Amino acid sequence: MSDERKIQEVLARYVRATDRRDGKAQGALFTDEAVVQIHVKTGRDSYEPFGEPLIGGAGVEFAVEHLMAPHPEGGSSHHTTADHIIDIEGDSARMSAQFVVFSVQAAARPADGWPDGVFGAQGTVRPIESGYYETGLRRVDGEWKIVKHDIFMDMPIAVTGA
């Protein structure tokens, strides 16, 4: 497998771990000294940091397991990424990718079954977040690991009481 594909797969594993709320799997993608920072859009082309940066795989694991809201019954999220731009220099790489996050909510199956005429997937899928991942990686013992991960949100983030 090419280095470009291996690097792209790191991001694929990252978004799948996020969707599953699997902090251990997500944290394993980062080096111990990695820095993760969310940025929110404040103007046409301007962003500001949101919250404190996460440090290392352990910080990422903790955040996923303790700070992310669990999915509701029948609910999930689905991250998609696109337009990966990857530059590699030796054992260092940079990747830029667009993302969209969808909220998925399955409809509850009625106790007496679906009514006549109902067909296909039942529930809703709606986009809830979008932006860009700007990610620095380093090859460590033959594996690509994230050393810097900036998440540039297209929208502000609301926090209760803030």
Residue 116 is assigned to a structural domain of this protein:
no
Taking only the tens place, the pLDDT of each residue in 45-82 is 899 999 999 999 999 999 999 988 889 999 999 999 99
Q: Which domain holds residue 56?
A: 3-109+121-153
**What's the distance, CA 6 to chain centroid?**
17
Residue 159 located in a structural domain: no
Q: What is the pTM of this model?
A: 0.91
pLDDT in the model for residue 162? 55
Q: Which residues contact 135 (CB under 8 A, 6 or more apart)?
A: 10, 11, 94, 95, 96, 97, 146, 148, 149, 150
Within a domain: 114: no
Residue pointed to by tokens 């820095």? 35
Give the distance between the most distant pair of CA atoms in the chain: 61
* Averaged pLDDT of the chain: 94
CATH of the domain at 98: 3.10.450.50
Provide the number of structural domains found in the chain.
1
Residue 102 lies in a domain: yes
Q: How far is Cα 10 from Cα 26, in angstroms, rounded to an integer?
A: 10
> Per the domain annotation, does 138 fall within a domain?
yes
Q: Is 63 domain-assigned? A: yes
Q: Answer yes or no: is 31 within a domain.
A: yes
Residue 115 belongs to a domain: no
